[in-house]
Amino acid sequence: MVVPTSRQPSSVVGLSPRSPSSASRSSPAAGILVGLRRTLGRSRKETPPLPSPSITIEDVARGARVSVATVSRALRDQPQVNERTRKRVVTVARRLGYVPNRAARSLVVRATQTLGLLIPDATDPIHGEIVTGFEQEAAAHEYTVMLADGFDDPARERRALEMFAMHRPDGITLLGSMLPQRVTRLMARTSPVVFVNGEHPHLAGYRADLTHGCIRADDIQGMDAVVRHLFDSGYRRLAYVAGPGNASDLTRRDAIARALETMSPSEPLRVYGALPRNGDTNGTLAAEIAKDRPDALICYDDKLAFQLIDQLRGHAVRVPRDIAVVGFDDIPFARMANPRLTTVAQPAVELGRRAAAMLLTAIRTGTMPRSIRLPVQLVVRESTINPAAQGGRRPRT
């Protein structure tokens, strides 16, 4: 059941790898190469000359008796050039061995047709979906994406920003960054910067986000929906299992506490500390939870929820028979686990797409759009079905 309050297969890209079908839209240079390949396919009996860096676009223009602008449009297969002229230009370019010099073009127009994207963890499925949305929007506007992994480490993030500054992308987006937003914009120099789900702890509550150039999933709305659902299902003693102490962790914890205080002032929120970064191999946290037996656990994210569900089995605690469990993110495994996990679904692909669109608008107009929050969805599944409310029967799968 989905409670109103979109997803595509995840894809983590490196330095703009693409399928042949998407390459034609990825950049002007790629479009030129596709145009050349089309002509090569029509004239396979001829042996093309080796590409020559000394042949310029002006040489092609003279050979085809057209302007430089027409050559550029023809080799990019743009509709302003008729088919007859395009064929003539491509034939001349092939005969001369012309290849587009993108670096030279960048120096002339002071644009690289590239975007920098910094993510905190390339192995995280939600980050992969955000990258997918970002890459799709960038490709639709003929931009290439440079990807860097910050590994949740501010020092690594700084080095990645220095790398971006060296390559001079037209714009930069930071996902889940631990760096202060104003410092980041100074480090990015002249490149516009967009922040997705900024994670510096001082951003908790999200009121300190910059007024322009920030985009988030609405965690507060999601946690309100979770608490309402648990109360409606008969759960009263709620506990939160903390995450890494970043902005989203603190925001989710505080949102749950406020909602719980409104609904049941006599039942304060129990907060369990975060697991070690390398995992709780001894099951110490699960043992503590098994002893306390809260009615329901709200976990920082889905991965944490699955780890606890597994460890609680070792203490003869079953979900949802003994404890209800809620996650956050709605990673693909949440729909297939046993029990299937109740969670808050982030619009991950849309976050990536909107971030790229925001950045491209800033590049095109020189003005950064206002910051926005995207709504989330509470997805109710088996892990919070109250057996008592079902007449003691186990929930049906």
- CATH code, domain carrying 82: 1.10.260.40
On whether residue 258 sits in a domain, the answer given is yes
Let me know whether 189 and 337 are in one domain. no
On whether residue 338 sits in a domain, the answer given is yes
Query: What mean pLDDT is predicted for residues 207-223?
Result: 97
Strand pairing partners for 195?
174, 214
Which pLDDT band, with edges at 50, 70 and 90, does 107 fall under? low
Let me know whether 184 and 262 are in one domain. no
Q: Which two tokens stand for residue 157?
A: 């993030």
Let me know whether 333 and 243 are in one domain. yes
Let me know whether 233 and 189 are in one domain. no
Please report the pLDDT score of residue 397 as a whole number: 33
On whether residue 161 sits in a domain, the answer given is yes
Let me know whether 185 and 157 are in one domain. yes
The percent of residues in the chain predicted with pLDDT above 70, rounded, is 80
Nearest to 58 by CA among 106, 7, 22, 101: 101
Let me know whether 204 and 250 are in one domain. no
On whether residue 241 sits in a domain, the answer given is yes
Contact 356, 137 (CB under 8 A): yes
Let me know whether 138 and 206 are in one domain. yes
Is residue 324 left, alpha or beta, with left meaning phi > 0 and alpha meaning psi from -120 to 50?
beta
Note down the domain range covering 268: 219-346+377-387
Task: Report pLDDT digits (tens) over 159-211.
Answer: 999 999 888 899 999 999 999 999 999 888 788 999 999 999 999 999 999 99
With 70 as the cut, is the pLDDT of residue 392 above it? no
Residues 6 or more apart whose CB falls under 8 angstroms from that of 107 comprise none
- How many folded domains does the chain comprise? 3
Let me know whether 248 and 299 are in one domain. yes
Query: What mean pLDDT is predicted for residues 321-329?
Result: 97
Let me know whether 116 and 88 are in one domain. no
More confidently predicted of 29 and 263: 263
Let me know whether 196 and 254 are in one domain. no
